[in-house]
Structure 1
């Protein structure tokens, strides 16, 4: 496979006019029933994203092409299931590998709409679930709505890292950038590996381990952030190069989702709704995480007193390290992800957390894009929120695990909180755009 992949990337490097089509086609096949299991689409997507980031395609073009390709793969898979119904088991490939369909069918019947959202990030399930949805007559409108949402998160998670790598290879970055990037990425990878490993093994103190590892890396950032200038300046320059008027408007909207007042309102609403539903331990967990993160972030900002980048025409007056938007967003969405995963298998709990991290990551990246934070600020903010969320969960589950929220409670909590965030974020949006002029 390595030789074949090298040949493909070499050919695309020599023929960049075909790169956009390759991104679209690979994304489509990665989400296409049966084919997506056979073809190593994840590796191919990363490879073509690196080539795109190296100057052939802009970030917006890369994400848009992959998004459309993924949607086409979903639609073809759904249509196949809808057309063949139970006869689909006789199709080539499924006759000899019935477990491919059986696993996705069990997953879909157990979790319904949520399976399409979360299963998008689980390799063997991703291409099969849309076909199962069609086979079991999921309404077309509902499938389209879920597919549009899931594909958006999927392209960010799967294409953005590769594109950013390609762009970083192209730019003249400061000396020491790659060493610092490797060191920080290695630290984050170790935290994620041991946290995920302990969760999958259902270890009793998995949350406490995740909190401890996150705090350990956070303390490293507390000590080392003054020495991360090459990394901070390089990543900031990388994102500033992508600025455009249309993307500026989108990023201002995204960043307003993480504004203090917005997050405060959403957090209070979340806790009130959980309390009204008599979910006392969930209320304690959510309130402890959100309040602890807000207090700790404010104290740390005052302690380190780090200046912001000088990008805006009128720089913000508050301190920079750690990022308040990053910590607040990660805390809020992680709380939702943790609550969504209660009572479910470990892999599904982790997938819910991954899904919850996507909007938080978007808010964090928007802060660097808009030039109001250094990259190390948002990493520190995310680690702070993640460690306090894990610690709060560990304390809340000290004796018995948190129980799963009922569907009735979820349909009360989730739409209300997200709607409130959306309304407040779009309110006086033009004033926000003036604030971030550069």
Structure 2
């Protein structure tokens, strides 16, 4: 996925790259794009591009934080407006165990669940809408939304930035061919880890559905 996004933005003007990154980060929770495209992919690649002086790192951080906070706020409003009806859409039913886990997390941790959910791909897409559906007060949601958004953006963007810097340094020391080989190996390892993680989560969801509510019954809503 990193390679696909990198190919997508390769050769584009910086202004358009900023726009693409902002749109993907915003849409992750606002439009539930996070179910198919984790937002950290965009900001990691953005960090790599910043290390190559294609993008400005400070500007990228500001744009990504604003997009993340705004997107989650829109997701919150969607959940607040549509409430329990939102849980009946096919996408939510498909990830019923994750929805239930997110609801329980909100019950136990309150607004702090918004911060925790920021660092897990599916919860990041789900949490804002479920927080709105549960009628969590928006000021509390906003505080942890901002804290989580800043922490998440800075962590993954700088991760991409330092990875890009390390790649350039390795290319100078060992030759670009070896550096590219190491980068490919790292990407393959990341893909294998991601596939295994996805399969494990799918098995856990299947097991939760088998042991939980009958198929077709709507997920429990928050009081």
Aligned to 2:123: 125
d(CA) in 1 for partners of 2:2 and 2:54? Answer: 23
Displacement of 1:115 in angstroms is 1.3
**For residues 262-283 of structure 1, what are the alpha-carbon distances to aligned partners after superposition, in whole Å with 9 as ceiling and x for unaligned?**
xxxxxxxxxxxxxxxxxxxxxx
Measure the CA separation in 1 of the matches of 2:23 and 2:168.
25
The Cα shift of 1:137 comes to 0.6
Per the TM alignment, residue 72 of structure 1 is displaced from its structure 2 partner at its CA by 1.4
Of 49, 69, 72, 1:71 maps to 69
Change (3 A) 1:31 1:52: farther
Matched, 1:7 2:2: no
2:27, 2:45 → 1: CA distance? Answer: 15
Secondary structure, counterpart of 2:125 in structure 1: coil
Match of 1:94 among 76, 82, 92: 92
Quote the offset at 1:114 in angstroms.
2.0
Number of aligned residues: 179
C-alpha spacing 1:55/1:22, structure 2 compared with 1 (3 Å): same
Hey, what's the Cα distance between the residues in 2 that align with 1:40 and 1:5?
11
Match of 2:207 in 1: none
Unmatched tracts of structure 1, length 5 or more = 187-438
Shift of 1:37: 1.9
Q: Based on CA coordinates, which of the two structures has the bigger radius of gyration?
A: 1
- Which structure would you say has the larger RCO, counting Cα contacts within 8 Å and 6 or more residues apart? 2
* SS at 1:94 equivalent: helix
Q: Is the 8 A contact 1:26 1:45 kept in 2?
A: no
Structure 1 residues 125 and 27, CA gap change in structure 2 (3 angstroms) = same
Cα 1:168/1:141, change in 2 over 3 Å: same
C-alpha contact 2:47 2:157 (8 A) present in aligned 1: yes
Unaligned 5+ runs, structure 2 = 187-223
SS at match of 2:121: coil
1:20-54 CA deviation, whole Å, 9 max, x = no partner?
Answer: 11221122133446321222333333223212331
Distance 1:22-1:123 versus aligned 2 partners, 3 A rule: same
Match of 1:161 among 112, 137, 159: 159
Q: Tell me which protein shows more helix as a share of its residues.
A: 2
Q: 1:51 aligns with which of 49, 52, 69?
A: 49
Deviation (angstroms), 1:82: 0.4
The question of 1:81 aligning with 2:106 is answered no
- TM-score, normalised by the number of residues in structure 1: 0.37
Q: CA deviation at 1:150?
A: 1.2
Corresponding residue for residue 136 of structure 1: 134
Q: What's 1:235 paired with? A: none
Q: Is the 8 A contact 1:53 1:163 kept in 2?
A: yes
Change (3 A) 1:112 1:80: same
**Contact residue 25 and residue 67 of structure 2 kept, 8 A:** yes
Relative to structure 1, the CA distance from residue 141 to residue 30 in structure 2 (aligned partners, 3 Å threshold; closer, same or farther) is same
- Is contact 1:23-1:49 (8 Å) kept? no
Q: TM-score when scaled to structure 2?
A: 0.68
SS of the equivalent of 2:19 reads helix
CA pair 14-88 structure 1, distance change in 2 beyond 3 A: closer
Cα contact 1:19–1:56 (8 A) shared by 2: no
1:177 Cα offset (Å): 11
Task: Say yes or no: does 1:151 pair with 2:144.
Answer: no
Shift of residue 134, structure 1, vs aligned partner: 0.4
Following superposition, the deviation at residue 81 of structure 1 comes to: 0.6
Who is 1:388 aligned against? none
